[in-house]
A and B are shown apart, each in its own frame.
Chain A
Amino acid sequence: MTASSQERPQCEISFTVNGMSHTVRAYPMERLLDVLRHDLELTGTKEGCGEGECGSCSVLLDGALVNSCLIPVLQASGSEIVTIEGLASNGRLQVLQQSFLDCGGAQCGICTPGMILASVHLLNKKPQPTLEEIREGLSGNLCRCTGYMQIIEAVADAARTGAAK
């Protein structure tokens, strides 16, 4: 790299992603989204708007649902992060992933990783949400394909089959 727009020097930042420890060299104000996608090659986290509106870049940061496009990587120092790649284990889909498949919750798929993480977050807080709570819980994640109904159905389906651990 011959030139850079980043004013402050890079530093070492450590955190856990999907249960694995990582140390990256990054500019402190780099977006967590970019570090996940470029440095760690976890491209399942998507960018839709870059300003915290669409929720496609949602990840769990110490259990909280955040837009990784708004989080400077320094802020993630010492945190535990969960991305879409961290949900399935040994090739077995997590309950919500399976419900999204069964109910038609994923169409083009670009909002799906963020939408599934928002759903995980919702069911962690409220294992048996009402339809109204699902609608509210997912309202920070935009989907242009589905009109949300099959997504809401997927979350309700997962709640019934017990997505919450």
Chain B
Amino acid sequence: MKHTPIVGTSVPRMEGRGKVTGHARYIDDMTLPGMLHGATVRSSIPRGKIKKITFGPGIPWDEFVIVTSEDIPGKNCIALIEDDQPCLADGIVNHPEEPLLLLAHPDRHLLSKTVEAVSVEYEPLPAIFTIEESEAQRQTIWGADNIFKTYLIEKGDLDAAWQNAAHIVEAEYTTGAQEQLYIENNGMIAVYDSEQGITVWGSLQCPYYVHKSLMKLFALPANRVRVVQMETGGAFGGKEEYPSMIAAHAALLAMKSGKPVKIIYDRLEDMTATTKRHPSRTRIRTAIGEDGKLLAGEIDFTIDGGAYKTLSPVVLSRGAIHAGGPYYWPNVRIRAKAVATNAPPHGAFRGFGAPQSLFALERHMDRIAQVAGISREEIRRLNFLRPGQTTTTSQIINEPINLGKLLDRALDLSDYHAKKENFTRHNREGFRKKGIGIASFLHGAGFTGSGERSLGSIAGVEACEDGGLRILVSSAEFGQGTNTVLCQIAAEALGLRYEDVSIAQPDTHDVPNSGPTVASRTVMVVGKLVQSAALGIKNTLIASGVLSDSYSPDEFRTACRAYVAKHGKFRSFAQYEQPEGVFWDDDKYRGEAYAAFAWAVYIAEVTVDLTTYSVTVDDFLALQEVGKVLHPVLAQGQIIGGVAQAIGFALYEKVIWDHGRMQNGQMTNYIMPTSADLPPIRVYFEELGNVHGAFGAKGIGELPMDGPAPAILNAVEDALNISFRSIPLLPEDIFAALSERATPETVPTSPRGDA
């Protein structure tokens, strides 16, 4: 049968119509009869014992539902990797904004005043706020040594390599916290019923993470906890783990009051209390041969995890594995460490540790180029990983990637050499200095190492009464295009039309656990499962004799209808199985870290204005190999959006901390890029394909977060001849550096912005 390809075309966004007409339903658009509004009373100090809680005068307290840790039926924790984060503080607080108790009332206007009327008396304990303070163990605030997790990645013989080095290049790099700043604040609605258990609806990425944590908190079996994802207004990792906390709070209030309870954070609460990108410090020491080749590297990568462990070990893992970049290291040692401080826990954010370690490495490559006297592009080309070589975890590169060719195309597309020459001439005079910078990098798709095997994700496809298919996954849509691309995959797998396929709202009572919507895994891993499950439907129809081997979409629908009329609606499921021969050693952190890598070369062009000290990105080129592009418009949207967010990370977005509390938790003083701030972002793809992903796709969502910051700072160095090693890079940092120009070695500032 003739079939027009669906994969590779830009079909309309599945839920797009609802979004452009205002009919899409987000959590705050939902109300239930008799619903109360909930609010959270939070700690005002970074660390201490709770001595006394007073409910102030002038408030009709008997009208309020009040929940404390004593109301928790199960274990007082937000279950994740370890159960160390309490749902509500019990006697002690470990960071500012830690939840202490909960209030609910029918009048939401009354609530904010009421929160202020609760006063808490503490016995303060000394607290720590930086990586350095944590390492020095000035106070031990977590475990025996403030260390959440360490990893060691080793390959080759380091000691011998140092002796053969023509140059040894050493430096330290830091990155600051970054707020995800989805435009829809966090929110949840919960209902409790003694028979049915708990149902929550909310803005979230991972329905089964919320499900797991509610089961533990309420000591309920799986079938008495139901989690439904509403349309979600942006997430970027920021709605990976914290929604479990808000769901828990709404559910506790719902249980105690017997009424539906809605909790919607306002912007200030969302920014000050919920997770951010981990601040980081990376120290790199490299041995370079006479020919410019990397002989050895010693990389110390440390992240600030905040007060509880939450996802820090996983963020650390990804950061550590990406720390070697797209280069061949014959000898390398990567030591990674996540430490505790008295700040709200840092968490998932697009890139997940990789933007931090890759920022350091890609700045360092420029430094190596200078020391070795080799151009910035050639030092990269000399050291690029080639097929057959191994990564830092000894994973053999099996795909036919040619990074040299990717680099050449990027240099060509950006007109790099001509611009570089022009800028050198241009910069001899005037107060607007121009520069151009490169970053080359990679991003692993899917969970690390044995992660996908332990998840064992399941995806389903259902044949419906009307003859259409319905995809059943817990993978959430929050802008990336999950709905659209998974429907494309199912339609393509069966030779149907895009319109023949729909996707279920993620609801743990309806869809299987296809894993969390994270780690650039949805299209590659879950997409492949959807493809298999869809084929299962076809095979059943053919085996039962209602469909022939060759069919039109209409015949398929007729066959589905006939089968469903006779047997009832039916579902086909597929579960992830690790491909044979995949080796991963969790103890030695060695082996095949990722089923596939996406590869990229980005080039940034900047102007630094020496009267305002501001940096403008004038042009941005993003060239990447991401396997097969299944939907060009969505794929471009992912890259442009990621680059924009990373420009913010590099140049605008600074979290100001004071004693562990964010001081600029508003959109008026935490500055993200507007449409007037961004350059043209020019996106190009190479498409090598990928045997592991549906129709050759790899992950794409996180990749564009990794490269822009180093490319921009490399361009700033090109413009000013000053090496900045810390982001965000604000005008005041440039002013300070220019003022101290006599001493070219700038002192690295604290990643947290603490004085």
Interfacial residues, chain A to chain B (CB-CB below 8 A): 1-6, 37, 42-51, 53-54, 56, 83-85, 87-88, 93, 97-98, 100-104, 106-113, 116, 134-136, 138-152
Measured between beta carbons, the chain B residues less than 8 angstroms from A135 are: 675-676
B60 in contact with A101 (CB, 8 Å): no
Bound CA–CA A108/B234 (angstroms): 5
Residues in A with CB closer than 8 Å to B60 are: 2-3
For chain B residues 191-233, which have a beta carbon within 8 Å of chain A? 231-233
| Stretch from B24-32, B250-258, B360-368 that touches the partner | B24-32
Residues of A within 8 Å of B480, CB to CB, are 107
Q: Report yes or no: A4 in contact with B479, Cβ–Cβ below 8 A.
A: no
Mark B644-686 against chain A: 1 for CB-CB distance below 8 A, else 0: 1100000000000000000000111000111110101100000
Number of A-B contacts (CB under 8 A): 184
Is there an interface contact between A146 and B19, defined as CB atoms closer than 8 Å?
Answer: no
* Nearest Cβ on chain A to B571's Cβ, whole angstroms: 29
CB–CB A51/B267 < 8 A: yes
18 examples of A-B residue contacts, CB within 8 angstroms: A1-B107, A2-B106, A46-B26, A48-B667, A51-B267, A85-B22, A87-B21, A100-B16, A104-B13, A106-B16, A107-B641, A109-B15, A109-B16, A144-B182, A147-B642, A147-B643, A148-B675, A151-B675
Q: How far is the CA of A2 from the CA of B290 in the complex (A)?
A: 80
Question: Which residues of the other chain, B, contact A47 by a CB distance below 8 angstroms?
Answer: 28, 185
**Nearest 8 pairs between A and B by C-beta?**
A44-B22, A110-B233, A109-B19, A108-B479, A147-B644, A84-B22, A107-B479, A147-B640
Is B588 positioned at the interface, with any CB of A under 8 Å from its CB?
Answer: no
Take A44-B23, A101-B12, A108-B233 as given contacts and tell me if A139 and B676 are in contact as well, using a CB distance cutoff of 8 Å.
yes
In contact, A149 and B680 (Cβ under 8 angstroms): yes
In the bound assembly, the distance between CA atoms of A144 and B113 in angstroms comes to: 31
Q: In chain B, what residue has the closest Cβ to A136?
A: B676
Contacts of B20 in A (CB 8 A): 93, 97-98, 100-101, 106, 109, 112, 116
**Which residues of chain A are near B675, meaning CB under 8 Å?**
134-136, 138-139, 141, 143, 148, 151-152
Across the interface, name the chain A residue whose C-beta is closest to B107: A1
How far is the CB of B640 from the nearest CB of chain A, in Å? 4
Collect the chain B residues with CB atoms within 8 Å of residue A142's CB: 183, 667, 672, 674
**Quick check: which of B140-148, B399-407, B459-467, B631-639 contacts chain A, the rest being far away?**
B631-639
What's the least CB distance linking B666 to chain A, in Å? 7
Which residues of the other chain, B, contact A134 by a CB distance below 8 angstroms? 675
Pair A109/B18 contact, Cβ less than 8 Å:
yes
B181 part of interface (Cβ distance < 8 Å): yes
Interface flag for B378 (CB, 8 Å): no
The residues of A that contact B109 with a CB separation of less than 8 Å are: 4-6
Closest to B60 in A: A3
Within the complex, what minimum Cβ distance (angstroms) separates A5 from chain B? 4
| Shortest distance from the beta carbon of B259 to any chain A beta carbon, whole Å | 14
**Inter-chain contact A53/B18, CB cutoff 8 Å:** no
Q: Output the least CB separation between A100 and chain B (Å).
A: 5
A-side contacts of B235, CB under 8 Å: 108
Q: Does B667 lie within 8 Å of A54, measured CB to CB?
A: yes
Least distance between B668 CB and chain A CB atoms (Å): 5
- Whether the pair A84, B21 counts as a contact (CB closer than 8 A) is yes
Q: Assess whether B308 is interfacial by the CB under 8 Å rule.
A: no
Measured CB to CB, the nearest residue on chain A to B643 is A147
**Cα(A46)–Cα(B27), bound, Å:** 11
B-side contacts of A2, CB under 8 Å: 60, 63, 106-107
Q: A106-B20, A107-B641, A142-B672 are in contact. Are A3 and B63 (CB under 8 A)?
A: yes
Q: How close is B232's CB to chain A, nearest CB, in angstroms?
A: 7
**B155-184 contact mask (Cβ, 8 Å, vs A): 1 or 0:** 000000000000000000000000011111
State the CA gap A141–B672 with chains docked (Å).
11
Given A5-B110, A51-B666, A110-B233, are A145 and B637 neighbors across the interface (CB < 8 Å)? yes
Docked-complex contact A85 and B21, CB < 8 angstroms: yes
**Closest Cβ neighbor of B111 among chain A residues:** A5
Chain B: minimal CB distance from A87 (Å): 7
A101 CA / B680 CA spacing, docked (Å): 21
